[in-house]
Structure 1
Amino acid sequence: METQHAPGSAGHVLSILRDLRPRTRSQLADLTGQARTTVSQRLDLLLDAGLIREAEHSAATRGRPSAAFEFDVEGNHALAVDLGANHATYAVTDFSGRVLADASDDVSIAEGPAVVMELVVSRLGELVSGAGIAPGSVRTAGVGLPGPVDHASGLPASPPIMPGWDGYDARGRISARIGCPVFVDNDANVMALGERAAAHPGVDDLLFVKLGTGIGAGIISGGRLLHGADGAAGDLGHAYSPAADGRPCRCGNRGCLETVAGGLAITQALQAEGLDVQTPRDVVESVRRGDLRAVRALRTAGRAIGDVLATCTALFNPAVVVLGGEIVAAGEPVLAGVRESVFARTLPLASRGLQITVAQAGSLGGVRGAAQLAIDGALSPGALEAILDHSLAS
């Protein structure tokens, strides 16, 4: 996705105003290097499109007060969807990313796109109506999917836990309903964006690890989300793990980390020990009840995850590693196991300032990240140009 606007363009002006500080024409002319008349033309375009507004209080200058302009975050809205293996969470946000309304359902992604997407578009419509906002103020939507997503097309790419979803156009399905651009990414990537916004806004190098039924990671480097050449960056669950001891994985390979440390694998291992657990949530509840078998299993899984993350730390050198997902709700056993392996297996130069912590964004972390994905996408050069062209045409 393009992120850089041409100097002096309407997008460049808007990118300056996105820090929520009102600025006058003169200030914007200085910041863009453009003449005041050019800046005025750009402001008129953005005003007509409803993306900015005149600030309530004029700027104090010598002589008469000057009009100042600001990004209209309250007048523009985004829809967000976070789909997991067994849940769907939805939200409406303003363009600052603030959640205005949200809802969630227990739904199996394995039911297929026809069932799941019908529920999604229906729930999004209900949220917009319930939030009391004008449908025309919805500019974009973002979706997180629990599997690999081709970055260029936004289509799921052979997702292991999503039968029937390979190549399915979720973006087109939602866009047809809301009439706006839609942006789709892997769920770990959107959770990385949500966690950074909620708890680590000043951190430019962050690794988010989602521990749920499977394992995935979102990588933020230099302040930007990394996708890799084919959008497969962060597929941590299918990295090789010595602890997996060559176990077959549903991806077709052997020895994947997910086979020993994913939520499904942990659940199955505890079932074999006689523990009455059916889902990763049951495992978490067993830990909370003090079951030593569950505590031991999660500590062992944490060590295996930490072994792989030690390599990631050596290669990527993040400032923060964040553990999220339903398994992390068990707390200390997983976190302790991860820290034990990472700090034992990395050089001090890479780990001396490293913070390993659990997610702070809570159950809305995914939709917050999906909203951020959508807002950034809608205001990127190509998409913004379409918004401005539509405004001129109308």
Structure 2
Amino acid sequence: MLKSPPQASSPRSAASPAPGASEVFQLLRDGRPRTRAELAQLTGLARSTVASRVDTLMTLGLVAPDGGAASTGGRPPSLFALNPGARVVVGADIGATHARAILADLSGRELAEEHRALAIGEGPDAVLGWLVGTVDTLLARGNRPPAELAAIGIGLPGPVEHETGRPINPPIMPGWDRFDVPAFVRTRFDVPVLVDNDVNIMALGERGFHWPEITELMFVKVATGIGAGIISGGTLQRGAQGTAGDLGHVRVPHADEIPCRCGNTGCLEALAAAPALVRTLSEHATGELATSQDVIDLVRSGDARAVQVIRQAGRDIGDVLATCVNLVNPSVIVIGGSLAQAGEHLLAGIREVVYRRSLPLATEHLRVAPSVAGERAGVLGAAVLAIDHVLSPEAIEAACAALSTG
């Protein structure tokens, strides 16, 4: 279940009923029940103000009574907590050849799931057509009316302009360039639609469900491409144009002559991503190799050449990550993506170089760990993306303002 850290409160506004209700809500968002007195103590607000804000949040359905606290004499005080069932969200992870979507409540608890093989190359009409149909299916299976759907989060396997939700020059997504994904989905469901690239949502999913107390985390996806989702100060860092974490096109000195699909030479992706390893191993393999799974199968079978190649890929990735460690100083580096299934050989190569090349202080408590969420990291992160939007201070204040004019 998603464990959300407390978020910063928004500025108080005198225009809405129980102004600043989000300040109280963010304290209840972690699911821990609290009394009005506890909330007053934590916020420094008068009990009457806290009571008014709790009433507003209960009217919105976001907060509900949670039994009673232990009595110190007289009537026990009431407890209040997040009401995770008040709304639902859909998270969708759309990959190069697959699509997966879940229905979740506001705590991240999964209520229903759908997945199928689906090629992103079929184009946005076909892929998003499947998605909107699947949202209907998920709502029906979860026995939730469309009116309770609060947001939809989507991950795509290419660069995304997060502010607009439009893919920008995606290399493996023909027909998707600058396609208005949110507008397409909202023709069927008039709710916020949040779109990001796959590695960013994987970082959100991994952290939200498995490393909730970690504020400095890098999620590195090693598959057909190589990229990273960077969480710093508890916030996903997208960069000015949404391209932060594009490790695959960082230059690796000893790969100068190797061409990359981006048009340059010497990129990490051209040296250590799945297609590069398939090419390298195909030169010596007796059978035909075509996919990352073929590489993984060779490694798992104990093939010495495959083990050597995957270990060296780890070292090459480690070369780039060592610079990242010195720059952003993460506490945890999580390795995911299809090639992470090769096990400790890839991680051993990464650790070998990262710990040798990074500053000692930066690696003193650094953990390099395999993904816990695995192939579900993306769909979980898409749900987190939607939930974080629905429960953000800005969204709570907007709901309170709408309540006053409704």
TM-score, reference length from structure 1: 0.92
Alignment of 1:129 onto 2:140: yes
Change in 2 beyond 3 A, CA 1:334/1:254? same
Cα distance in structure 2, aligned partners of 1:377 and 1:23: 23
Change in 2 beyond 3 A, CA 1:126/1:362? same
Moved more, 264-273 or 225-234: 264-273
Residue 55 of structure 1: SS of its match in structure 2?
Answer: strand
Cα distance in structure 2, aligned partners of 1:276 and 1:125: 42
Counterpart position of 1:6: 11
Equivalent residue in structure 2 for 1:289, among 278, 285, 301: 301
**How far apart are residue 17 of structure 1 and its match?**
0.6
**How far apart are residue 217 of structure 1 and its match?**
0.3
Cα distance in structure 2, aligned partners of 1:385 and 1:77: 19
- Residue 20 of structure 2 contacts residue 397 of structure 2 at CA under 8 Å; is this kept in 1? no
Cα distance in structure 2, aligned partners of 1:25 and 1:321: 40
**How far apart are residue 134 of structure 1 and its match?**
3.1
Q: Which 5+ residue runs of structure 1 have no aligned equivalent?
A: none
Moved more, 24-33 or 360-369: 24-33
Equivalent residue in structure 2 for 1:300, among 291, 312, 315: 312
Alignment of 1:337 onto 2:349: yes
Which amino acid in structure 1 is aligned with residue 26 of structure 2?
S
Counterpart position of 1:70: 81
Change in 2 beyond 3 A, CA 1:381/1:304? same
Equivalent residue in structure 1 for 2:382, among 365, 370, 374: 370
- Residue 198 of structure 1 contacts residue 360 of structure 1 at CA under 8 Å; is this kept in 2? no
Map Cα deviations across residues 328-382 of structure 1 (whole Å, 9 max, x no partner): 1111221111112212212322212211111011322211111111111112233
Counterpart position of 2:31: 20
Moved more, 168-177 or 136-145: 168-177
Alignment of 1:175 onto 2:180: no
Equivalent residue in structure 2 for 1:325, among 337, 348, 359: 337
- Residue 205 of structure 1 contacts residue 220 of structure 1 at CA under 8 Å; is this kept in 2? yes
- Residue 155 of structure 1 contacts residue 168 of structure 1 at CA under 8 Å; is this kept in 2? yes
Cα distance in structure 2, aligned partners of 1:23 and 1:126: 36
Cα distance in structure 2, aligned partners of 1:310 and 1:207: 12
Which amino acid in structure 1 is aligned with residue 388 of structure 2?
D
Counterpart position of 1:158: 169
Moved more, 21-30 or 253-262: 21-30
Which amino acid in structure 2 is aligned with residue 85 of structure 1?
A
Q: Which 5+ residue runs of structure 2 have no aligned equivalent?
A: 1-6, 13-18
Counterpart position of 2:371: 359
Cα distance in structure 2, aligned partners of 1:338 and 1:301: 8
Cα distance in structure 2, aligned partners of 1:23 and 1:59: 12
Q: CA RMSD in A?
A: 2.1
Cα distance in structure 1, aligned partners of 2:219 and 2:186: 28
Counterpart position of 2:122: 111
Alignment of 1:346 onto 2:378: no
- Residue 23 of structure 1 contacts residue 59 of structure 1 at CA under 8 Å; is this kept in 2? no
Moved more, 317-326 or 99-108: 99-108
Identity %: 47
Cα distance in structure 1, aligned partners of 2:263 and 2:396: 41
Alignment of 1:217 onto 2:228: yes
Residue 255 of structure 1: SS of its match in structure 2?
Answer: coil
**How far apart are residue 80 of structure 1 and its match?**
0.4
**How far apart are residue 266 of structure 1 and its match?**
2.0
TM-score, reference length from structure 2: 0.90
Equivalent residue in structure 2 for 1:381, among 393, 396, 400: 393
Which amino acid in structure 1 is aligned with residue 218 of structure 2?
L
Map Cα deviations across residues 101-120 of structure 1 (whole Å, 9 max, x no partner): 22322222222212211112
Counterpart position of 1:310: 322
Alignment of 1:44 onto 2:55: yes
Residue 85 of structure 2: SS of its match in structure 1?
Answer: coil
Residue 96 of structure 1: SS of its match in structure 2?
Answer: coil
Cα distance in structure 1, aligned partners of 2:252 and 2:319: 8
Alignment of 1:276 onto 2:288: yes
Residue 298 of structure 1: SS of its match in structure 2?
Answer: helix
Map Cα deviations across residues 211-246 of structure 1 (whole Å, 9 max, x no partner): 111111011112221112222111111111224323
Change in 2 beyond 3 A, CA 1:145/1:380? same
Map Cα deviations across residues 292-351 of structure 1 (whole Å, 9 max, x no partner): 333232122111111101111111111111100111111122111111221221232221
